[in-house]
Structure formats: structure tokens, C-alpha cells
């Protein structure tokens, strides 16, 4: 990733093309770098290359287990300090509870995530465990 100092970087585990393109466009408008690894191993490797400012995870991501991802990230001395945000379909409240219990710092319904995306990427939106 190797970016200039001061440029925020985000790693997004997002398969949904709508949300991926929305994240990509918003990050570009903010002058940020966003990467979309397709596997858990790629995500961990990418984060190890350069510590990101934020992890974003679609809790419905079919390519990886978002709960296992949280467990791995939060058990790493290096990565546990990076904010971990998940978003989910508002009808799946059990998934929200599981994510918070697994270590997500913030879990938002998709609608709020989309509405507040610019603030989330800029780092002005994260509240501890809502």
C-alpha cells in the first residue's frame, strides 16, 4: 500500500458491487486509498504491509466469515487498535449482536452506513459499541 504520510487508508471486505463502488467513489473524493481484498488471508497480508486507518466489513460477505475476521483482527497486537466497522441488513439484528460480541467497534445498518459514509471514511463517525 505504501502511501504518503497523512493519507488515510481503508481495507474493505465488501463483495456487494453497489457498496464497493460507493466506498471507492467516496474514498476517491476524499483523497483516500481503499483496498478490497477478496480473502481473509489477503486482508491480513495487506494490513500487515501497512497498518490501515479503518477496516470496513459487510457482515453478509459470503467470501469470508465476518465473525472469524473480527476474532483474528482483535487478537492481533498490531491490528486490534484499528477501528473495525461492520454493516448489515437492518432485519438481521442477531448478526449485529454477534458482530459486537466478536469485537466490532461499530455495527451499522446498511442505510446508516450509506448515509454517513463520508464521515465514516474521514474518521469522524466511529462511536464505541453502539
* Interval 98-107: pLDDT, tens: 999 999 999 9
Rounded Cα–Cα distance for residues 63 and 35 (Å):
16
At residue 85, the 3 state secondary structure works out as strand
**Count of domains observed in the chain:** 1
Residues of the chain by 3-state class (helix, strand, coil), percent to 5 = 40, 15, 40
N- to C-terminal Cα separation, the chain: 31
Give a yes or no: residue 96 inside a domain.
Answer: yes
The CATH number assigned to the domain holding 111 equals 3.40.50.2300
Average pLDDT over residues 102-117: 95
pLDDT tens, position by position, 10-66: 999 999 999 999 999 999 999 999 999 999 999 999 998 889 999 999 999 988 899
The answer as to whether 130 is a domain residue is: no
> Residue 66 belongs to what domain range?
9-122
Please report how the helices 66-75 and 93-102 are oriented relative to each other, as an axis angle in degrees rounded to 10. Answer: 20
Amino acid at each position: 500500500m505504501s502511501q504518503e504520510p497523512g493519507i488515510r487508508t481503508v481495507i474493505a471486505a465488501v463483495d456487494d458491487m453497489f457498496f464497493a463502488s460507493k466506498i471507492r467513489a467516496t474514498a476517491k473524493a476524499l483523497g483516500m486509498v481503499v483496498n478490497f481484498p477478496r480473502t481473509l488471508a489477503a486482508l491480513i497480508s495487506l494490513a500487515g504491509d501497512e497498518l490501515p486507518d479503518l477496516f470496513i466489513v459487510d457482515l453478509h460477505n459470503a467470501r469470508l466469515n465476518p465473525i472469524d475476521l473480527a476474532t483474528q483482527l482483535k487478537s492481533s497486537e498490531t491490528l486490534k487498535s484499528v477501528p473495525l466497522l461492520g454493516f448489515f441488513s437492518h432485519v438481521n439484528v442477531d448478526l449485529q449482536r454477534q458482530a459486537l460480541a466478536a469485537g466490532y467497534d461499530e455495527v451499522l445498518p446498511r442505510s446508516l452506513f450509506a448515509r454517513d459514509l463520508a464521515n465514516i471514511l474521514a474518521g469522524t463517525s466511529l462511536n464505541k459499541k453502539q
